[in-house]
Structure 1
Amino acid sequence: MRTYDNPVIPGFHPDPSVCRVGEDYYLVCSSFEYFPGVPLFHSRDLVHWRQLGNVLDRPGQLALPDDTPASGGVYAPTIRHHDGLFHVVTTVVGAGDGASGNLLVTAERPEGPWSDPVWIDVPGIDPDLAWDENGDCWCAVAGVSVARIDTRTGKVLEGPLPMWSGTGLRDPEAPHLHRVGQWWYLLVAEGGTALGHGVSVARARSPRGPWEPAPANPLVSHRGSPEPVQCTGHADLVRAADGSWWAVLLGTRPRGWFPEFHVLGRETFLAPVEWVDGWPRMGPVREREQAPGAWHPVEQPPARDDFTAPALAPHWISPRSRPDGSWSLSERPGRLTLTATGGSLDRPGHTFVGRRQQHPDCRAAARLEAGSARAGLSVRVDEAHHYDLEVGGGTVSAVVRIGPLRQTVAEQPLPPGPLTLVMEMSTDRVPPPTGTVPGNREATGVRPGGPDAVTLSVETSDGVVRLAELDGRYLSTQVAGGFTGRVVGMYVTEGRAAFDWFEYAPVGRVDCAAP
Structure 2
Amino acid sequence: MRYHNPVLKGFYPDPSVCCANGSYYMVCSSFQYFPGVPLFESRDLVNWSQIGHVLTRPSQVSLEQVPASGGIFAPTIRYLAGRFYMVTTNATTGENFYVYTDDIRGEWSDPVTVDQDGIDPSLFFEAGRAYFMSNGTDDAGVSGVVQCEIDLTTGKKLSPSVCIWQGSGGRFLESPHLYRIGDWYYLTAAEGGTEYGHMITYARSASLWGPFTGYPRNPVLTNRDKAPCIIQGIGHGDLVQDPHGAWHILSLGFRQQELWMAFHHLGREVFLTPVTFGADGWFTAGTDGTTAECYDMDGDFTQKPLPARSFAHRDWYKEWCFLRHPRQECYALSQDSALLHGTAVTLDEPGSPTFLGLRQQEFRGTFRCRVELDRGEAGLTCYMSEQEHYEVALCRRDAGCTALCRLNIGGVHQVVKEVPLSGSSALLVIRMEPTQYHFYAVTEAGEQYLGTGQSKYLSSEISSPFTGVMLGLYAVGENTARFTELSCVYREDCITDGTALQGALSAPVPAPA
Q: Larger RCO: Structure 1 or Structure 2 (Cα < 8 Å, ≥ 6 residues apart)?
A: 1
Report deviation, 1:354.
Answer: 0.7
Q: Secondary structure at the residue paired with 1:265? A: coil
The residue number in structure 2 matching 1:459 is 442
Report deviation, 1:472.
Answer: 1.4
The residue number in structure 2 matching 1:354 is 357
AA aligned to 2:379 is G
1:425 aligns with 2:429: no
Report deviation, 1:461.
Answer: 2.5
AA aligned to 2:469 is R
Structure 2 residue ranges without an equivalent (≥5): 136-143, 497-513
1:121 aligns with 2:125: no
Counterpart CA distance in 2 for 1:162 and 1:292 is 39
Q: 1:504 aligns with which of 476, 483, 488?
A: 488
The equivalences for 1:43-58 within 5 A come to: 43-58=42-57
Q: Secondary structure at the residue paired with 2:58? A: coil
Q: Secondary structure at the residue paired with 2:483? A: strand
1:379 aligns with 2:372: no
Residue 185 to residue 42, structure 1, CA distance change in 2 (3 Å): same
Counterpart CA distance in 2 for 1:510 and 1:392 is 39
Identity of aligned residues (%): 39
Contact 1:165 1:188 in 2 (8 A): no
Moved more, 57-66 or 121-130: 57-66
Contact 1:338 1:492 in 2 (8 A): yes
Moved more, 164-173 or 335-344: 335-344
Q: Secondary structure at the residue paired with 2:120? A: coil
The residue number in structure 2 matching 1:8 is 7
- With normalisation by structure 1, the TM-score equals 0.89
Q: CA RMSD in A?
A: 1.9
Contact 1:22 1:241 in 2 (8 A): no
The residue number in structure 2 matching 1:365 is 368
Counterpart CA distance in 2 for 1:203 and 1:510 is 37
Report deviation, 1:339.
Answer: 1.4
Report deviation, 1:373.
Answer: 3.5
Residue 40 to residue 481, structure 1, CA distance change in 2 (3 Å): same
The equivalences for 1:86-485 within 5 A come to: 86-95=84-93, 100-132=94-126, 134-142=127-135, 143-226=144-227, 227-256=229-258, 260-276=262-278, 277-283=280-286, 284-295=290-301, 302-306=308-312, 312-329=316-333, 334-349=336-351, 350-393=353-396, 394-427=401-434, 452-485=435-468
AA aligned to 1:479 is I
Q: Secondary structure at the residue paired with 1:423? A: strand
Counterpart CA distance in 2 for 1:184 and 1:82 is 18
Moved more, 164-173 or 409-418: 409-418
Report deviation, 1:471.
Answer: 1.5
Residue 117 to residue 508, structure 1, CA distance change in 2 (3 Å): closer
Residue 492 to residue 178, structure 1, CA distance change in 2 (3 Å): same
The residue number in structure 1 matching 2:20 is 21
AA aligned to 2:389 is H
Report deviation, 1:256.
Answer: 4.1
Q: Secondary structure at the residue paired with 2:53? A: strand
Counterpart CA distance in 2 for 1:300 and 1:472 is 21
Report deviation, 1:152.
Answer: 1.1
Contact 1:147 1:159 in 2 (8 A): yes
Report deviation, 1:249.
Answer: 0.4
- With normalisation by structure 2, the TM-score equals 0.89
Counterpart CA distance in 1 for 2:453 and 2:371 is 22
Contact 1:50 1:299 in 2 (8 A): no
AA aligned to 2:318 is P
Counterpart CA distance in 2 for 1:120 and 1:176 is 17
User: Structure 1, residues 238-289: CA drift from partner, whole Å, max 9, x if none?
Assistant: 1112111111001111124866100101110001111012012102211111
Aligned length: 477
Counterpart CA distance in 1 for 2:41 and 2:80 is 17
Q: Secondary structure at the residue paired with 2:159? A: strand
1:38 aligns with 2:44: no
Report deviation, 1:300.
Answer: 6.7
The residue number in structure 2 matching 1:434 is none
Counterpart CA distance in 2 for 1:129 and 1:90 is 10
User: Structure 1, residues 339-385: CA drift from partner, whole Å, max 9, x if none?
Assistant: 12334221122111011000011111111111224111000100100
User: Structure 1, residues 63-119: CA drift from partner, whole Å, max 9, x if none?
Assistant: 3102x1210000000001101101100110114xxxx41111111122121111111
AA aligned to 2:39 is L
Contact 1:75 1:93 in 2 (8 A): yes
Structure 1 residue ranges without an equivalent (≥5): 428-451
Counterpart CA distance in 2 for 1:415 and 1:313 is 36
